[in-house]
Structure 1
Amino acid sequence: MRLLPALATAVLAFSLAPAAFAQSSVNSNNWMSSLGSSDGELSSGLSQGLSSGSMSSNGSSLAETHQDFSRDYGSSLAAVDATFGILGLFGSNANILTDMWKSEQDIYPFAIDEAITTASLISRTPTAEENRERWVVSSPSMGRNIGVDVVVGTGGPVVYFLEGIDSPETSNWIKNGHLQPVFSDTDATVVIPAQGAGSMWQDWDIDDPKLGRHKWETFVTEELASVIEDEVTHNGKRGLIGLSMGASGAVMMANNNPGFFDGVAGISGCYSTTDTIGRGTVNLTVGNLGGDPNNMWSTPESWERNDVVSHPEGLRGTHLYLSAATGEITDEELEYYDGKPITDQIAGSLLEAGSRQCTEDLSAALSESGIDHTTDYLDQGAHGWPMFGPQLQPAWDGIKSALY
């Protein structure tokens, strides 16, 4: 028996004022979409959302009603617990919630070429932007060639970026124009691998029928780094910055490779793999692209190994910066969501409130272990580019002292 309508109604009931929700009908397709998509993080997989009820009984729009609701952080956390509890309990295999926001990409899975046995630079192509190039690097671990955005520096650190869930061919940091002003006056080389959608930037245990072979930890730390650092002039220091799925992946990758990165920044990520929000986030992220998270981590030991909150010791000595907001919709974001399904806005609140809780949990675990770190908690902001973009400068400022 399909439970989508009842479960969708239950989750949305936490997120809308009763008067507004009473006039709404729920469509079972794609109300939540993605954790890091190119169209404002939240809209690539949405098809319809709420199909009626644009005004609440007091004359306010649903967007305004939800904006008011989002100011109550406690209520947002209740909605987070409901949503991610369902995801964590049933996972992607149950097809209960993940069906509602699937946004599979036709390019996956990529063909695997077992003849690729060496990591090497295949091509290096200039772009219209000064110093930005498109590199192609062969990956024996993944059996294919990987596209990489590279902004070539002049002797400073190498800063690797991990994208959000859709991981497009050209990074959203570049397309949305946030990278350029932050790094234009630095000597750093910026490196952004592409097309790791839904992968959590992890080494998967099993090739997935939908997403193919992912060995991103091996690629970044063993293959890509050696190629990049042989080709560019640098000072021997490495940074790693991730947002959303990329924030989770960055902190996990650094924890699994102690000392490899000198500074790591996570913007709006989740860092447990076993608690309610963490497990639900993984199921959502991988399931959104049609993948099976049990192919990524096929045993309980694999899930536990990547739970940074439970054992953060690999981060000791790494300069660590973490940030997240509350999920409260700002006036700027209300304007940004205008014309988009109300469910985009609701998802933005839920995802960011969840990221905030995840960040607080990791911070507490780091403090308990005596591991130095910096946190930056924003009083307002939803899980989307209006909040992500301005967070790049403080993230860079938060780690760059460790890179010089």
Structure 2
Amino acid sequence: MLGLCAAAAVLPLTVGLASVSTAQAQPLTRAETVAHAQPMRTADTVLPGVKVDKVDWLTAHRVALWVYSPAMGTDVQVQILLARDWYANPNQTFPQLLTLDGLRATDDQSGWTINTDIVNFFADKNVNVVLPVGGQSSFYTDWLKPDNGHNYQWETFLTKELPPILHSDWRTSDVAGLAGLSMGGTAAMMLAERHPDMFKFVASYSGILNTTSLGMPQAIQVAMLDAGGFHSENMWGLPSNPAWADHDPMLHADKLKGMSIYISSGNGVAGPYDQVGNIPGISTNFAGMGLEILSRLTSQNFAQKLNKLGISANVIYRPSGTHSWPYWQFEMHQSWPQVAQALNVEPVKPPCSATGAIGGFAAGAQWLGPCTTAEYAVPGGRAQDFLNGQVFWSQATGAQSLGGAIGGEYQNMGGSGGKLGFPKTVELGTPDRRGRFNLFQNGSIYWTIPTGAHAVYGDILTEWGRQGFERGPLGYPTQDQIKTPNKTGQVQAFQIGAIYSSPGNGTHSVQGEIMKKYGTLGYEDSYLGFPKTNELGTPNGQARYNGFENGNIYWSAATGAWAIRFGPIWDAWQQSGFEAGKLGLPVGDQTDIPAGGVTQNFQHGTVTVTDGKTAVTYH
């Protein structure tokens, strides 16, 4: 009974469409698919304003990029699952599979990585899987107006701004496919039709493949309001606006001719991945029942349209199933052979085995899982990839494993040919039990949940170690070591401060309230310059301070943190006995006097310099 009600709720939306047919369209032949899969050249010139603002290596084979989109005026996170042979064949480029999320996409992770096994499934497959993050209720299209704090221009981003980044920086070829679920399935068909020269394969898993039939714009509006409070009028205008027809997959199906097409949907009846309610065949996922019935109806009508146009497609009608993630994971698996054929990659990984020193090590590290590549050469040694990590070998270090975020940071640092050299240990736990680390020939990588994984090396590692590593005053590293922007030096941020290293000044830390004050003044670009000491206690024990090139910063609980610059005011303070003298500690920074000169306040007095003369007054 409930199933009939769910069907009745959506059947009026199909008025005027071709009658539903269960006939399955024929897939492309092997010859047709391979011919269509030949690369098409795309300009690799990055568009003005497009830039990568941040890269986070989540693992050795999973990378998050934050790409600034001029069209949207914001950074967009894009995650890439790197192809199986990314390291084994460092000069090779790889096809991409652009994988789109559903209506309730979140801003931190793609639903694909949250709800499916996509990361492990593609670990042994030779494609770069591209996962845009965000876009709730966007249909991955260019909106007419901003809405709900978002200026959605997804089509421009995905087809113009992002591809040159993928081609130039991430060894992604021009051979591309795209797939999506629900909203993403609709968007995948729409984007494939609007950009047929870009894609060789397109898949819709439970997509709504007709957006303009009677009642459909209203149904989309209801769904978008429910998923984030978005308004379809801001997307494509009123239903009478031509933009609706311009983006309707049904109306432009002829553009898919020659493309490899995969369409799937359930029928709303409770299936193997559903929780059944009190009535047999009826899932407790009532919304998922109705949505999947709608997907089935529009998919069947879309398949009929393709048949009339003489366009081949692989159309899968599941005998059961609701609108939910387990079925989309299943379809991702089922469609892979067709994806592989369309993108001209092998559907099954070549045989591999782990032998020699790496094989002996891997046999004792079951967490690595099966090998995904054969052993290959790296600078200075050998390596091999496994489902859950990598093993590196050199004559000096033997075989050692890397995995997770530490493995990702290692590749970010250039692997065995980078600053760190080869790993000397397996992953170990830190003494405080809060983090993990690996030791390398020339440094270390430390990881915790709140800080992520970061390498520490060189003089900064030496100083951090002298202070007690993560158990010292600075805590764990929170960023990688970088060059100071405008002066010759290096800096690395930690939980409680930073360590600076510069020629002539040595390597020193700045932390806590003194670090905050240093930041407000402009760090090393300020008049203070680089630190010349670590934080020290004053002789009278009442304050803490750091010495810098051109002054000091003093802090106490009673006075806060203030800088005092070398010069006449410093000289007068020195003559009075510094913080132990009559003036006490500074309680403000040096400031200009409107009539000319400078002044600075202390706990018990003021020092003023005018016309080259210094005057000290006491309170």
* Kept in 2: contact 1:245–1:285 (CA 8 A): no
* 1:88 match: none
Contiguous gaps of at least 5 residues in structure 2:
15-46, 87-92, 345-619
* 1:79 match: 9
* 2:194 match: 256
In the alignment, which of 289, 298, 311 is matched to residue 252 of structure 2? 311
Q: Residues 206-285 of structure 1: matches in 2 within 5 Å?
A: 206-208=145-147, 210-276=148-214, 278-285=216-223
1:121 paired to 2:52: yes
* 2:141 match: 202
Task: Report Cα offsets for 1:190-234 as digits up to 9, x if no partner.
Answer: 1111110011111111122x1521111110000111111211223
Q: What is the deviation of 1:400?
A: 2.3
* 1:136 match: 66
RMSD (Å), alpha carbons: 2.3
Partner Cα distance (2:184, 2:292) in 1: 14
Letter in 2 for 1:368: K
* 1:353 match: 293
Partner Cα distance (2:163, 2:272) in 1: 41
Partner Cα distance (2:248, 2:308) in 1: 16
Partner Cα distance (1:295, 1:353) in 2: 27
In the alignment, which of 278, 283, 295 is matched to residue 234 of structure 2? 295
Q: What is the deviation of 1:294?
A: 1.2
Q: Residues 64-103 of structure 1: matches in 2 within 5 Å?
A: 69-70=2-3, 76-81=6-11
Q: What is the deviation of 1:255?
A: 0.8
Partner Cα distance (1:147, 1:159) in 2: 16
Letter in 2 for 1:81: L
Number of positions where the alignment pairs a residue of Structure 1 with one of Structure 2: 297
* Kept in 1: contact 2:269–2:283 (CA 8 A): no
Relative distance call for 1:376 and 1:343 in structure 2 (3 A) is closer
Bigger Cα displacement from structure 2, 351-360 vs 252-261: 252-261
- The percentage of counterpart residues that share the same residue type is 27
TM-score, normalised by the number of residues in structure 1 = 0.69
Task: Report Cα offsets for 1:287-346 as digits up to 9, x if no partner.
Answer: 2221111111125211111122122122122211110000111254116x89xxx99611
Q: What is the deviation of 1:175?
A: 1.8
1:400 paired to 2:340: yes
1:364 paired to 2:304: yes
Letter in 2 for 1:144: T
* 2:76 match: 146
Partner Cα distance (1:331, 1:374) in 2: 22
Which is bigger in relative contact order (C-alpha 8 A, separation at least 6)? Answer: 1
Q: Residues 160-175 of structure 1: matches in 2 within 5 Å?
A: 160-168=98-106, 169-175=108-114
Q: What is the deviation of 1:278?
A: 3.6
* 2:428 match: none
* Kept in 1: contact 2:67–2:76 (CA 8 A): yes
Relative distance call for 1:326 and 1:177 in structure 2 (3 A) is closer
Q: What is the deviation of 1:117?
A: 5.0
* Kept in 1: contact 2:183–2:207 (CA 8 A): yes
* 1:326 match: 267
Partner Cα distance (1:211, 1:81) in 2: 34
Partner Cα distance (1:257, 1:376) in 2: 24
Relative distance call for 1:172 and 1:317 in structure 2 (3 A) is same
Bigger Cα displacement from structure 2, 278-287 vs 135-144: 278-287
Relative distance call for 1:218 and 1:77 in structure 2 (3 A) is same
Q: What is the deviation of 1:285?
A: 3.3
Partner Cα distance (1:293, 1:325) in 2: 26
Partner Cα distance (1:347, 1:194) in 2: 24
Partner Cα distance (1:269, 1:303) in 2: 16
Letter in 1 for 2:193: N
* Kept in 2: contact 1:266–1:322 (CA 8 A): yes
> Secondary structure of 1:333's match?
coil
Partner Cα distance (1:192, 1:254) in 2: 16
* Kept in 1: contact 2:270–2:322 (CA 8 A): yes
Bigger Cα displacement from structure 2, 282-291 vs 312-321: 282-291
Relative distance call for 1:258 and 1:281 in structure 2 (3 A) is farther
Q: What is the deviation of 1:75?
A: 5.7
Q: What is the deviation of 1:284?
A: 3.0
Q: What is the deviation of 1:283?
A: 1.6
Relative distance call for 1:318 and 1:380 in structure 2 (3 A) is same
1:188 paired to 2:157: no
* Kept in 2: contact 1:200–1:285 (CA 8 A): no
Task: Report Cα offsets for 1:169-203 as digits up to 9, x if no partner.
Answer: 21121122420232111111111111100111111
> Secondary structure of 1:246's match?
helix
* Kept in 2: contact 1:81–1:276 (CA 8 A): no
Letter in 2 for 1:201: Y
Bigger Cα displacement from structure 2, 247-256 vs 389-398: 389-398
Partner Cα distance (1:218, 1:328) in 2: 38
Partner Cα distance (1:287, 1:177) in 2: 26
Relative distance call for 1:315 and 1:332 in structure 2 (3 A) is closer
Relative distance call for 1:403 and 1:281 in structure 2 (3 A) is farther
Q: What is the deviation of 1:79?
A: 2.8
When Rg is computed on C-alpha atoms for both structures, the one with the higher figure is 2
Bigger Cα displacement from structure 2, 135-144 vs 299-308: 299-308
Q: What is the deviation of 1:148?
A: 1.0
* Kept in 2: contact 1:211–1:290 (CA 8 A): no
* Kept in 1: contact 2:176–2:200 (CA 8 A): yes
TM-score, normalised by the number of residues in structure 2 = 0.46
Relative distance call for 1:144 and 1:344 in structure 2 (3 A) is farther
Task: Report Cα offsets for 1:114-136 as digits up to 9, x if no partner.
Answer: xx951122221111x44101111
